Amino acid sequence: MKRSLNHIFIVIGLLFLTFTGNAQSKMVYTDAHDLNLIGKAEDSKMYYHRLDTSAHQDIPAIVRTLATRSAGLALSFTTNSATVSAKWCTSKLATADNMTGIAFEGMDLYIKRNGRWQFAGVARHVSHECSESVIAENMEAGKKECLLFLPTYDETLSLSIGIDQGAVIERGDQPFKKKVLIYGSSIVQGASASRPGLAYPARLSRETGYNFINLGFSGNAKMEASVANMLAAMPMDAIILDCVPNPSPEEVLARTNYLVSTIRRSHPRVPIICIGSVAREKGNFDTVVAAKVALKDKYFEQEIRKLQKQDKDLYLIGGDGLLGKDQEGTTDGIHPNDLGFDRMLQKIRPEILNILKRYQI
Amino acid sequence: MKRSLNHIFIVIGLLFLTFTGNAQSKMVYTDAHDLNLIGKAEDSKMYYHRLDTSAHQDIPAIVRTLATRSAGLALSFTTNSATVSAKWCTSKLATADNMTGIAFEGMDLYIKRNGRWQFAGVARHVSHECSESVIAENMEAGKKECLLFLPTYDETLSLSIGIDQGAVIERGDQPFKKKVLIYGSSIVQGASASRPGLAYPARLSRETGYNFINLGFSGNAKMEASVANMLAAMPMDAIILDCVPNPSPEEVLARTNYLVSTIRRSHPRVPIICIGSVAREKGNFDTVVAAKVALKDKYFEQEIRKLQKQDKDLYLIGGDGLLGKDQEGTTDGIHPNDLGFDRMLQKIRPEILNILKRYQI
């Protein structure tokens, strides 16, 4: 009986595959290599890696691994298709409990309309490896400028975009100008925005037109000397340092000067914008966490204030109050949710814009 | 070699279990049955079920199943412990891709301080069945009023609260007054708030002091006659009907009158507050979805307006614009994220409060 049931399930499964195979075969797929993948700090041999990890053997192994995750990468293309779908494969990683699957290993699409990037749909994974998903359908005729944000926490292994038969898809432009690096923790990488395009560097890019580059490394951004050297060697028009959450207070005290000074030596006039830690809601009742975060912020501010005496292009935005005053702006006491990120952006976005304008960037 | 490695892993695993077992044994656990579980619409035989499903054989089977999920339930207790932990078991369900695991099968703790319920920490699951998690630690001495919000999407099977040895835990009061039912879809049930306490009925309760009851049924709330009859039989001081997202336009047209009239017959003077659908961002580019949502809202408004001619205690809050104008307020085009919920609450909370005050509720 059990074997017969198994046979029935296999037949049903094959019928289902045939059916969905037919449905999918209506879409015509283009590999992402033929479109324009934006958001990288540098060219990388592996198309979906943020950094060329083989060229950075001296940075910590975990940071190299995290650089293979596609946080902040977005595929720019244009199409007149009424439907946009995606086939993509990621590594086998399962979603973290403080994130949605859509953010961790899914994607979201934005289309430019009336001069503004507007949300159009999400690509939802059906397995932790390879999935196919309709992202948006029944759209009006006409050419659409599209930006598809890749998974923030998983490694993307392959991606192709599906359009209706007879429709056209083309490589899109780089829609963002200049290059503003953001070096930071899981919060920069995208935890806990509810989808990839809501990670704060991605929101900043769409909302300001500047090319903010996601150099967020979950559980890391500990200002290691090797990482400081790597950052300093990168081309940039400005850099944001949002790296207080993960190092210990002692590491903040010991490493801040080297990080800032090293970047400054390679980039004598770029604005360096530092942000205090927002990861403090867990310390609302936990007195040990509260004291630790306060000490890290104190050390960070102390080191930045010292450096500012001889560096008029170094800025500090305090972390206190950036997520609001009601403690509802995080998912888990550490990582901002979309409400926390929105409150944070309402405060830091105008400050960052003012600084960039001052430098005519 | 592989077998030797396996043996090593098993030994390491046992050592780890022994170690964490020792750590956990320091906590003293109290079963949730000895504390105060609030948030139910009615007494239920099964402690963690929202409804007594055996008493409602006529409602759709899927709604009965969804009533076993612990959305909106919260455990009220007081303790002077510096640490609060939880052991809990849920069904084997895995997290949906548009939610975090913390919201789906985890919990979050609020503590009253300075007259306000403040976030204190989350209980993070380590398996899809039974987990143990420290929620908050290193807290100051003194008695704390605690509210622990249960998983919104999973069925809770057991729960006990851990405190430090020598500390005291007691049954807490019902902190909220009156009873305001909210009947609705997944959006009411809690998708896609990032943790249970951020589901909008839970936020309304903490922020207003009224006892908002979560009757959200994911993918349902289709205004079936059997469900209308069940709702009408419940005690209530007011009811909110947020049930446009899931029924078809034809169902909205056919069923709205019966739902409202049936509740009204049993409750001649309670305010009935209707909310239009917020699930419309997917229709930002999808013209079919946009037309369908518009039609449902049109039918709903039309039916409510007709009823209002003879019912001065019937109110309608339109869904348009409740999530903001930038289309960033949802996780997946349908379910509000914490930003969307916050925007929604900023608009509906004062309207609801004004209505309740008008009735001296």
Residue A121 near chain B (CB below 8 Å): yes
A337 vs B338: CB contact, 8 Å cut-off? yes
Instruction: Report how far residue A149's alpha carbon sits from residue A197's, in angstroms, rounded to the nearest whole number.
Output: 6
pLDDT at residue number A286 = 98
The tokens 């204190």 sit on which residue? Answer: B120
Instruction: Report how far residue B8's alpha carbon sits from residue A228's, in angstroms, rounded to the nearest whole number.
Output: 38
Q: Give B122's contacts in chain A (Cβ within 8 Å).
A: 331-333
pLDDT at residue number B25 = 55
Q: How far apart are the CA of A313 and the nearest CA of chain B, in angstroms?
A: 33
Residue B131 near chain A (CB below 8 Å): no
Tokens of A199: 């990670």
pLDDT at residue number A14 = 40
Residue B106 near chain A (CB below 8 Å): yes
- Which of B92, B71, B48 lies closest to B151 in space, CA to CA? B71
- Complex ipTM tops 0.85: yes
Q: How far apart are the CA of A189 and the nearest CA of chain B, in angstroms?
A: 17
B281 vs A119: CB contact, 8 Å cut-off? yes
Q: Give B282's contacts in chain A (Cβ within 8 Å).
A: 121
Chain A 170-189, CB below 8 Å of chain B: which residues? none
pLDDT at residue number B279 = 84
B95 vs A95: CB contact, 8 Å cut-off? yes
pLDDT at residue number B21 = 41
Q: What residue type is B290 in one-letter code?
A: A
Q: Write down the architecture of domain B177-358 according to CATH.
A: 3-Layer(aba) Sandwich (3.40)
A333 vs B121: CB contact, 8 Å cut-off? yes
Q: Which of A99, A138, A340 sits opposite B100 (nearest CB)?
A: A99
B120 vs A284: CB contact, 8 Å cut-off? yes
pLDDT at residue number A25 = 55
Query: CB neighbours (10 Å) of residue B328?
Result: 25
B186, B218 contact by CB (below 8 A): yes
Residue B99 near chain A (CB below 8 Å): yes
Q: Read off the pLDDT band of A149 (50, 70, 90).
A: very high
Instruction: Report how far residue A212's alpha carbon sits from residue A204's, in angstroms, rounded to the nearest whole number.
Output: 7
Instruction: Report how far residue B226's alpha carbon sits from residue B223's, in angstroms, rounded to the nearest whole number.
Output: 8
Residue of A nearest to B125 (CA): A97
B268-297 pLDDT tens trace: 999 999 999 998 899 999 999 999 999 999
B136 vs A285: CB contact, 8 Å cut-off? yes
pLDDT at residue number B44 = 87
Q: Which of B100, B122, B285 sits opposite A120 (nearest CB)?
A: B285
Q: How far apart are the CA of B303 and the nearest CA of chain A, in angstroms?
A: 29
Residue A152 near chain B (CB below 8 Å): no
Instruction: Report how far residue B315's alpha carbon sits from residue A21's, in angstroms, rounded to the nearest whole number.
Output: 48
pLDDT at residue number B280 = 86
Q: Give B331's contacts in chain A (Cβ within 8 Å).
A: 100, 102, 122, 194-195
Instruction: Report how far residue A71's alpha carbon sits from residue A90's, in angstroms, rounded to the nearest whole number.
Output: 13
Residue A95 near chain B (CB below 8 Å): yes
Q: Is the peptide bond before A248 cis (omega within 30 degrees of 0)?
A: no
Q: Read off the pLDDT band of A18 (50, 70, 90).
A: very low
pLDDT at residue number A20 = 42
Q: Which of B327, B329, B332 sits opposite A102 (nearest CB)?
A: B332
Q: How far apart are the CA of A334 and the nearest CA of chain B, in angstroms?
A: 10
pLDDT at residue number A224 = 98
Query: CB neighbours (10 Å) of residue A64?
Result: 18
Residue B211 near chain A (CB below 8 Å): no
The tokens 């086939």 sit on which residue? Answer: A87
pLDDT at residue number B212 = 98
Which residue ranges make up each domain of chain A?
28-171, 177-358
Residue A255 — φ and ψ, nearest 5°? -110, -15
The answer, yes or no, to whether residue A44 has pLDDT greater than 70, is yes
Q: Alpha helix locations (H) across B135-276?
A: 186-189, 200-208, 225-232, 249-266
pLDDT at residue number A13 = 40
What string of DSSP letters covers B242-297?
E--SSS-HHHHHHHHHHHHHHHHHH-TTS-EEEE-----GGGGT-HHHHHHHHHHH
Residue A333 near chain B (CB below 8 Å): yes
The tokens 């301080």 sit on which residue? Answer: B113
Please give the CATH topology (third level) of the domain spanning A28-171. Answer: Jelly Rolls (2.60.120)
Q: How far apart are the CA of A342 and the nearest CA of chain B, in angstroms?
A: 7
Q: How far apart are the CA of A234 and the nearest CA of chain B, in angstroms?
A: 32
Residues of chain B with pLDDT under 50: 1-23
Residue of B nearest to A99 (CA): B100
Q: Mean pLDDT over residues A318-330, rounded?
A: 95
Q: Mean pLDDT over residues A20-42, rounded?
A: 83
pLDDT at residue number A116 = 97
Residue B323, classified by CB atoms within 10 Å of its CB into exposed (0-12), middle (13-18) or buried (19+), is buried
- Which of B69, B121, B127 lies closest to B101 in space, CA to CA? B127
The percentage of chain B sitting over the pLDDT mark of 70, rounded to a whole number, equals 93
